Amino acid sequence: MSPTTSDTADPSGPTGTSPTAKAAGDVPGSPPGGDGRTTRRSLPRRVLARPEMGALIGAVAVYLVFYAVAEPFRDVDSFVTTILYQASTLGIMAVPVALLMIGGEFDLSAGVAVVSSALTASMFAYELTLNVWMGVLAALALSLAVGAFNGILLVKTGLPSFLVTLGTFMMLQGLNLALTKAVSGTVSTDSISDMEGFEQARDVFASTVTILGTDVRVTVLYWLAFAAVATWVLFRTRYGNWVFAVGGNQDSARAMGVPVTFVKISLFMTVGFGAWFAGMHQLFAFNTIQSSGGVGNELLYIAAAVIGGVLLTGGYGSIFGPVIGALLFGMVYQGVVYANWNPDWFMFFLGALLLLAVLVNLYVRKQATRR
């Protein structure tokens, strides 16, 4: 007798979607009783089903609007040196935050963690009269430790990442201000521009390179490189399948042998690494750091990921989407300035853009999966 449906175990687990399917970005759309191999969606529908399509449509619309109303927006050099730079400062953090969100968690401490990293590097080197690279290494150790702390506390207690990282956010915010005042006597660090190793560190984290006659901030190159590596990891490695599986249903993932604890802690540490790198750019671009900075930036990182099609519930998304989300941020930020609009409206435009992108993502996914 041939096995019936009830006699055959479902290999995809309770979620009904295997990690491999999630990693490929597939959206369930096969007819009832079928395994999805009897029908093939058309190319346009497969393209529309991509998580980043809503952000891409929004980016084209925003570009056309500011291209029409703001003359500086049309200049290639201006676009590269200002808009792409603004996008890269957000995008460097949006990449690891997106990975974490695909894994089913998010980090509210990411914004202040950037400032904590920069403050640590600056004060450690300045107060101990060390080569600034020693401060850079100390900041890296701290940032990874904060990420590990968030991840370990999350998996050991089972608390939601909202509560865990909200607590970390508050602690880091208080430490940033209190320790900076205690050490330097003010709310900002002393300049380290004349210290040994500063020029070399600035070349690594905050330099400008000329490409085809156009000045490009090095953060743009790092941003694109990080996005490329993250995309390869997410869609071409076993670890990437683990991330999708954990974000989709961690209990099913654990039952299939996925190391859930390792995945979650490593994702939080990846956010810590991103915070370190972003903090080093701030430090070596501006020489001093304000201890009160970074508050609210975590919402911009999350917004860039959500605009790019990453689900808050986890298990779905890409890296290309958050890259477009960060680019949208840069275009809106500079476009408002170039168009001589009141900059106080910037956050309104960004919020409206977030809602619009979410609605467009929802619409195109429904259209793509209609039979």
Close Cβ partners of 349 (under 8 Å, ≥ 6 residues apart) = 332, 336
Determine the pLDDT at residue 242: 96
Identify the bridge partners of residue 217 per DSSP, sorted by sequence position: 208
DSSP assignment of 159-180: --HHHHHHHHHHHHHHHHHHHH
What number of CA atoms fall less than 13 Å from residue 149's CA on the CB side?
Answer: 17
Residue given tokens 């107060």 in the structure block: 127
Nearest to 28 by CA among 39, 36, 20: 36
Nearest to 265 by CA among 235, 298, 239: 239
139 within 8 A of 253, measured Cβ to Cβ: no
Task: Round to whole Å and give the CA distance between 249 and 21.
Answer: 13
Task: Round to whole Å and give the CA distance between 136 and 186.
Answer: 22
Cβ burial of 40 (10 Å; 0-12, 13-18, 19+) is exposed
Alpha carbon dihedral 171, 173, 175, 176, in 10-degree steps, equals 160
303 within 8 A of 325, measured Cβ to Cβ: yes
Task: Round to whole Å and give the CA distance between 143 and 273.
Answer: 6
SS3 state of residue 219: helix
105 within 8 A of 313, measured Cβ to Cβ: no
The alpha carbon of residue 165 and the mean position of all alpha carbons in its chain are separated, in whole angstroms, by 16
* Phi, psi at 290, each rounded to 5°: -85, 125
What are the tens digits of pLDDT across the range 115-168? 999 999 999 999 999 999 999 999 999 999 999 999 999 999 999 999 999 999
**Residue pLDDT tens, the chain, 371 long:** 434 333 333 333 333 334 444 433 443 333 334 444 445 666 666 766 677 777 888 888 888 988 998 888 888 888 888 999 999 999 999 999 999 999 999 999 999 999 999 999 999 999 999 999 999 999 999 999 999 999 999 999 999 999 999 999 999 999 999 999 999 889 999 999 999 999 999 999 999 998 888 889 999 999 999 999 999 999 999 999 999 999 999 999 999 999 999 999 999 999 999 999 999 999 999 999 999 888 889 999 999 999 888 988 888 889 999 999 999 999 988 888 888 888 777 788 778 877 877 787 777 667 656 65
Task: Round to whole Å and give the CA distance between 83 and 57.
Answer: 18
SS3 state of residue 83: helix
Q: What is the DSSP letter of 79?
A: I
Determine the pLDDT at residue 364: 66
Could you report how far apart the first and last alpha carbons of the chain are, in Å?
A: 33
